[in-house]
Structure 1
C-alpha cells in the first residue's frame, strides 16, 4: 500500500463560481436586450439581443459543464470519505439534471447527500442553504415559464425572474464554497490507496 493526499476540487470550484457569476450577469443584459427588442423591434435591436443571447448561452453552457464536473468530483470525494453513506451513482448524479420532472427534485437530494456524506460537520444551516438555492432555481424556472406563456414582455415578471436567477447564482456559489471547504477539511488526512505495482 502507498498513500496519497486527496484534495477538494478548489480550482474547479472557483472556475465554476466564476462561470456562474458571468452567466448571471450576461442573463441580465440578455433580458434587457430582449425586452427592448420586444417593445421596439428593429434590425439593430434584433442583432443586439441575438448577440447577447448567444454569449449567454455559451457562458451558461460553460457554467453547467463546470458545475456538473465539480459535482461529480465532489460525489467521488464524498464516497471516499464515507463509503457506507448513500450517495447517488456517478451516472445518476449527472443524468437526473436532464430528465423532465425528475430534475425538479432529485438533483437537490443528490447535492444534500453529497454534502452530508462529504463531512461530519454538515449542519442544519447547510441544508437550509441548499434548500434556499433550490427554491430560487426552481422558482426562476417556473416564473420564466409562466412569463413566456402568459405575459411575454411583462416587466414585473422579468424582474422577478431575474431576481430569482441572480439569487440562485449567488446561492449556488455559496453551496459550492461550503461543500468544497468541508471536503477540503475532511480530506486533509492521508488516504491509503492500492499500489499499482502490486
Structure 2
C-alpha cells in the first residue's frame, strides 16, 4: 500500500518520545495537585473574609496565600506548555507511522496532527479524527493478515476527559475574572480547583492513551508490512 505524501517507507519508533511525554504528564499531575492545594487554601481565607469583612486578605497569611497560588499557577502553565509541545511532536510521529501502516483509514492529513490543535472550535474535534485514524492503523492485523478492530475505549476516555477539562477550565476562569465580592471569589476559587482536578484526570487518561498507542504501534511495526489492499478490504 503506498504511503501518503511526505511519509517515509519505515515507521519511526515513538517509544522515546512517549516516555518523555509520560514524564511531563506526570509533572502536569504534580502541578495540578500543587495548584489545587493552593487554591483551596486561598478559598478558605476568602470565606473567612466573607464572614468577617474586617479581615485583610491582602496582608499576612492572605498575601502569602495569594503569592503561593500565583506561583502554583505559573508552574502549572509551564508544565502544560512543555507537555503540549512534546505531546504534539509524539502525536505527529504516530500519525506519520499510521500513514505507513494503513493510509486508507486516515481521515485527515499528517499536518492536521499539529494544525488541528490550533483551529478555534474545530480543535474540539479535528485532533480526535486524527487520533481515530492513528488508532485504527496501529491495530495489529490477525495472523492471517485479516483486518481486526480494537475498541476505542482508551481513545474516547482520553478525548472526553480533555474536552471536559478544557470547557470546565474556561468556565472557571471566566467566573474567577468576574468575581468581585469575597463570597463570589471563594466560590470561583472552588470552581477553579474543580477544573484543575478534571485537568489532573485528563492528564492521567492522556498517559494511558500515549502508552497504549505506543505499544500498539510497536506491535504493528513488528508484524511487518500492511496487508495487500484487496485482502484488507475483504475483511472490513
Residue 99 of structure 1 is matched in structure 2 by 119
Q: Which has the larger radius of gyration?
A: 2
Q: Residue 5 of structure 1 contacts residue 190 of structure 1 at CA under 8 Å; is this kept in 2?
A: no
TM-score (norm 1): 0.81
Q: Residue 165 of structure 1 aligns to a residue in which SS?
A: helix
Q: Residue 31 of structure 2 contacts residue 76 of structure 2 at CA under 8 Å; is this kept in 1?
A: yes
State yes or no: 1:169 paired with 2:203: yes
| 1:124 to 1:159, Cα distance in 2 relative to 1, 3 A | farther
1:98 CA displacement = 1.4
| 1:165 to 1:75, Cα distance in 2 relative to 1, 3 A | same
State yes or no: 1:29 paired with 2:54: no
1:176 CA displacement = 0.7
**Counterpart mapping for 1:143-154 below 5 A:** 143-150=168-175, 153-154=186-187
Residue 52 of structure 2 is matched in structure 1 by none
Q: Residue 88 of structure 1 aligns to a residue in which SS?
A: coil
Aligned mates of 2:171, 2:11 — CA distance in 1 = 45
Residue 139 of structure 2 is matched in structure 1 by 119
Aligned mates of 2:99, 2:41 — CA distance in 1 = 48
Aligned mates of 2:88, 2:64 — CA distance in 1 = 36
Structure 2 residue corresponding to 1:54, chosen from 74, 83, 92: 74
1:6 CA displacement = 4.3
Q: Residue 119 of structure 1 contacts residue 182 of structure 1 at CA under 8 Å; is this kept in 2?
A: yes
- CA shift digits 1:43-90 (9 cap, x unpaired): 322332222222222111111011000001101111111133325323
Please identify, of 175-184 and 36-45, the stretch whose mean Cα deviation from structure 2 is larger: 36-45
Gaps of 5+ in 2: 1-8, 47-56, 142-147, 176-183, 226-236
Structure with greater strand share of residues: 1
Aligned mates of 1:159, 1:48 — CA distance in 2 = 14
* Number of equivalenced pairs: 187
| 1:111 to 1:24, Cα distance in 2 relative to 1, 3 A | same
- CA shift digits 1:84-140 (9 cap, x unpaired): 332532321111111221111111121111111222457443x12211111111111
| 1:95 to 1:5, Cα distance in 2 relative to 1, 3 A | closer
